[in-house]
Amino acid sequence: MQFEPKLETGVLLKRYKRFLADVALPDGQVITIHCPNTGSMKNCLFPGGPVWFSTSDNPKRKYPHTWELMQTDQQHLIGINTGRANALAEEAINQHVITELLGYDTLKREVKYGSENSRIDILLTSQTLPECYIEVKSCTLLEDQVGYFPDAVTTRGQKHLRELIHMVTMGHRAVLLFVVQHSGISTVKPARHIDPQYADLLEQAVAKGVEVLAYKTELSPQGSQIIGPCNVML
C-alpha cells in the first residue's frame, strides 16, 4: 500500500483529547493533526520524535492531516493509523501473502453478522469452502520485546471474540488476525495484564476453534505492506 500523496514529516509535540496531536513542521510552524487511534497508544508516544502524516483534500475536514507513522527512540517505526490495518489485510489476502487464507473466491468488507449487531472486517467466501469471518486488530504495544494486544481494556474487542465464537458454532470458519504495525514486534501475546477478560475470552475462543494469526507489516514513509507471519503465544 503506497502513500499517495506523499507523506509529510514533522516532530511530535503532544497527543491530547484522544484524537488530536500537535506537530512541529521543519519550518517551525505548529499544526494540529488528526490521531486515528482509539487505543491508549501505550509505548507509542515519543514527544520530540519524528512523525509522518498524510493530507486529505476533503474541504469539509476540520483537520486535513492524519497521523500515519511514529519513530521510536530505538528507531522502530509504528503504524499509528489503526484504520490502515484492514486495508493492509485485504491487500495481503488478495496478493496471497497470508497463506492460511488461500482458496477463497470473493472478499467483502464490513459485512453485518453475528448476534450482537456487529460488522465483520473481512468475509471470505467460496463455493467449496466454509465462509471465513476475519476480525482484524492492529498490534502496536511493545513491552520487553513482545507485542501485546490490547493496549487498553476493550469491551468492543471482547464482543468481537464472542461473535467469532458464535460463527464457529454456526459451522463457519472464524479468524482473529493481528496486523503488527510495529517494526520491533516479532511475537504477539494477549495483554492479560491490561485486559484479563479479553485474554480469558481469547482462550475460550481458541478452545472453541477460532484461529489466531499474526502478520508483520513492513513500514516506511513511502508505503506499508504485510510481509510475513509472526509468532503467536497464547
List pLDDT tens digits, range 36-91. 998 899 999 999 999 999 999 999 999 999 999 999 999 999 999 999 999 999 99
Single-letter residue type at 149: F
155-203 pLDDT, tens digit per residue, is 999 999 999 999 999 999 999 999 999 999 999 999 999 999 999 999 9
Summarize pLDDT for 125-159 with one digit per residue, the tens.
Answer: 999 999 999 999 999 999 999 999 999 999 999 99
User: Among 113, 201, 215, which Cα is nearest to 158's?
Assistant: 201
**Extended strands (E) in the chain:** 8-16, 20-24, 30-34, 50-55, 65-71, 77-79, 106-113, 118-125, 132-139, 141-143, 146-149, 173-180, 187-190, 211-218, 225-229, 231-232
64 Cβ partners below 8 Å, 6+ apart?
55, 56, 57, 58
Q: Strands 225-229, 211-218: parallel, antiparallel or unpaired by DSSP?
A: antiparallel
pTM of the predicted structure, to 2 decimals: 0.95
* Cβ count near 173 (within 10 Å): 19
CA-closest candidate to residue 39, choices 144, 154, 142: 154
**Does 123 or 114 have the greater pLDDT score?**
123
Q: What CA–CA distance (Å, rounded) separates 189 from 214?
A: 10
SS3 at position 66: strand
Evaluate whether 209 touches 166 at the Cβ level (below 8 Å).
no
Output the average pLDDT for the chain: 97
19-45: average pLDDT: 96
